Structure 1
Amino acid sequence: MGVINTKNWFEHDKWRKKINEDVQRHLFAHGMARRNQQEIMKQLAEKNVWAFVAKKFMELKKEWDGPDVPIYIFPADATNRSLQHEFGGKSGVAFFDQLFLFLLPHVSNEHIYALLIHEYNHVCRLHADPKDERDYTLLDRIVMEGLAEHAVRERLGSDYVAKWTTYYTKEQLEQFMKKWLVPNLSLRLDDARYRALLYGSMLYPRMLGYAVGYEVVRRALAKKTMTELLTMTSEQIFFM
């Protein structure tokens, strides 16, 4: 499997015949382009992005002894303000058995690698803690995001981690954790508060769950390695 050659998938909307409709909706919701798809893919092909991602994927797979899943490179939505501000013009979606990267031509190889690290770390975590997506709690997601972004920091340094890792002080994060997250760790995706607490809202600080997850995993990494944490339960990591 590995990196799938998707360079021509957006000619005549061929990609829609290859990806089921439920997944399609998920992709659009997480930053895939709706317009200028072919032009973006053409420019990505000129950068030879597929070969770069394939090389880095093999390195990560070997280091983490991770699963061999198909990786699909698709165009990112250049008009998505959240995607540009919070995630640097790139995004991705990780499933148990496949991985999607949404990219724009101006994104550097280092930032593409950072995205691959983050999303493939998710895949490894999903394999270590397999269950139905509907059964993943807010606690699971918070820990998962913290693990993934620390994996980026370990390989590329703090210059390549997401902006949301710097939004708050340790003291603020401790307060946020006790006030808002600990009472709601068991929430599931079908509860409206799940997304509000994870991403922030009018009621909660921006990227709340992500930022707290990064702090939780920072503390855990003082006692365990990333490889060890990937196989531990979310509860063990959060309350370490």
Structure 2
Amino acid sequence: MGIISTDEWLKKDFNRPVQMMERLKGTFRNTVDGDVIYQHLLKHGMYSPNQRTKATWEFLQENDAWEKTQNLFTAYRKMWGGPDVPIYIFPLMSSVMWKKKNEKKSGVAFEDKLFLFYDMDINDKEMEAVLIHEYHHVCRLHHLDKDQKEFTLLDTMIMEGLAERTVERYLGSKYLAGWTKLYQKDKLQEFWSKHLEEKHSIKRTDPLHDVLLLGQKGYPHMLGYCSGFHLAGKSKKLSVKKSFIIRSEEFL
């Protein structure tokens, strides 16, 4: 599988992303229509049609983003012994939110597929960073013997932390996501005691899960992500393959 030719999809349906998403209906366990898929992907960085995102698409074509990502995927899949999954590449949303984050990439992973969103002027190392992060998710989801509905906040935090620690392992701190540098260690320990120690076992289906993970409604920005990265610092002693199977509770 590997890279799906979404560059060809974009040629035909750039201005009709919902219709384009109809092609993915059969890839989701629960049969959902294109609009539901598109709305979900929008939350993770999927583009909306406009001049800026069209220019991004043209940049990605000119810079062989699909071929480069395929080469990266082939290399990491071989190195990690990971599953063969389809990868869908689209332009990154051009909203103020993404510009404020100063991120050139985003993604979302499932056990059996992943989506990557690239901004204009993304360089090869940034492509590699997001591929490492999201494919690490795929590998961990593939190996964990746990239904995703049963995931706790701690599971999600450690998932994000381990993925970003793996980026650090291969590419160094320069290519870490901006959120990894938001808080000092002592501040994160304070946040843990104040906000997370009594709540880390809430299920993914609890509305508070995403509030704490993202740091919304008055909680510190990116609270769960940053705390997960801090907790996963112990993973430096682990092999990457061990990081796919280690239980989240071992980081407490």
TM-score, with normalisation over the residues of structure 1?
A: 0.92
Determine the structure 2 residue equivalent to 1:18: 23
Alpha-carbon shift at residue 89 of structure 1 (Å): 2.9
Q: List runs of 5+ in structure 2 lacking aligned partners.
A: 26-32
Q: What TM-score comes out, normalization by structure 2 length?
A: 0.87
Measured in 2, the distance between the counterparts of 1:157 and 1:203 equals 32
Instruction: Evaluate the alpha carbon distance shift between residue 39 and residue 167 of structure 1 in structure 2; reply closer, same or farther with a 3 A threshold.
Output: closer
Contact 1:32 1:74 survives alignment (8 Å): yes
1:235 matched to 2:230? The reply is no
Match of 1:105 in 2: 120
- Shift in Å, 1:80: 4.3
Equivalent positions of 1:27-46 (< 5 A) are 27-36=41-50, 38-46=54-62
Tell me the CA shift for residue 93 of structure 1: 0.7
Cα deviation, residue 42, structure 1: 2.6
Find the aligned partners of 1:220 and 1:8 in 2 and give their Cα distance: 40
Quickly say closer, same or farther: Cα 1:23–1:214, change in 2 above 3 A. Answer: same
Partner SS, residue 197 of structure 2: helix
Q: Which moved more, 1:93-102 or 1:36-45?
A: 36-45
| Aligned counterparts, 1:109-124, within 5 A | 109-124=124-139
Shift in Å, 1:110: 1.0
Summarize the Cα distance change of 1:49–1:135 in structure 2 as closer, same or farther, 3 Å threshold.
same
User: Shift of the alpha carbon at 1:39?
Assistant: 4.2
The percent of aligned pairs where both chains have the same amino acid is 39
Which consecutive segments of 4 or more residues in structure 1 shift more than 4 A? Answer: none
Q: Which runs of 5+ in 1 are unaligned?
A: none
Q: Deviation at 1:197?
A: 0.8
CA contact 1:84–1:90 (8 Å) conserved in 2: no
Alignment-mate amino acid for residue 15 of structure 1: M
In the TM superposition, 1:1-240 aligns within 5 A as 1-10=1-10, 11-12=12-13, 13=16, 15-20=20-25, 21=33, 22-36=36-50, 38-81=54-97, 83-86=98-101, 88-221=103-236, 223-236=237-250, 238-239=251-252
Q: CA RMSD in A?
A: 1.7
Query: What SS is found at the alignment partner of 1:206?
Result: coil
Aligned residues: 236
> Which secondary structure does the structure 2 equivalent of 1:112 belong to?
helix
